[in-house]
Amino acid sequence: MKKSNKTAAAAAGALLLTGGLTVAANAGANAGASVTAVPAVDIQPAPESVVAQNRISVGASAAAVNAALAKCQADKLPFVTVALVDRFGTVQALLRGDNAAEHTIEAARQKAYTAAAFGTPTSELAKRINGNGPSIADLPGTLFLAGGVPLKVNGVSVAGIGVGGAPDGTLDEACATEGAQAIAGTAK
């Protein structure tokens, strides 16, 4: 048996054991006892306990990815994907162009997340990579290639838009910038 098969078998066995123990524990705890629901705790919104978060709306997200893809199509780049993510990397909108390959989806998402997380265009971040040992480029889920642009509210990064698939990252970035400008009210 290969090592991966042994690992999978061990994991499956542990899962079955854990599941069986959980069922037994729940049965013992509930035997003859009435189940009491635990009420949710309502936390009052206050600066010291709740963080307010800005987010790009669904309409603005759709407008941004549409504008970015339209720019790429006008530039004869129909094989790109555009992604808009919140600052945590959750996809808000994704639009895959005609003939866009599968890898462009992840590239666009990662560029958007990288721009949002660092609040800087990915073309600028790529310049910071020096190749001498571990760097920010080693962070999971990030991609330090041109094509990601942050979206900011009052100077704070709240989202990012990324484009993947053009033959040059500067072309990706031009499309992403067009998408960002479309919702900032500064589109050409």
pLDDT in tens, 10-39: 444 444 444 444 444 445 545 555 667 888
Interval 70-78 mean pLDDT: 96
What gap in Å lies between CA 95 and CA 112, rounded to an integer?
13
Q: Which domains does the chain have, with CATH numbers?
A: 58-184 (3.30.450.150)
Cα-to-chain-centroid distance, residue 109: 6
| pLDDT for res 138 | 87
pLDDT greater than 80 at residue 7: no
Structure tokens that stand for 20 in this block = 């069986």
pLDDT in tens, 104-136: 999 999 999 999 999 999 999 999 887 777 888
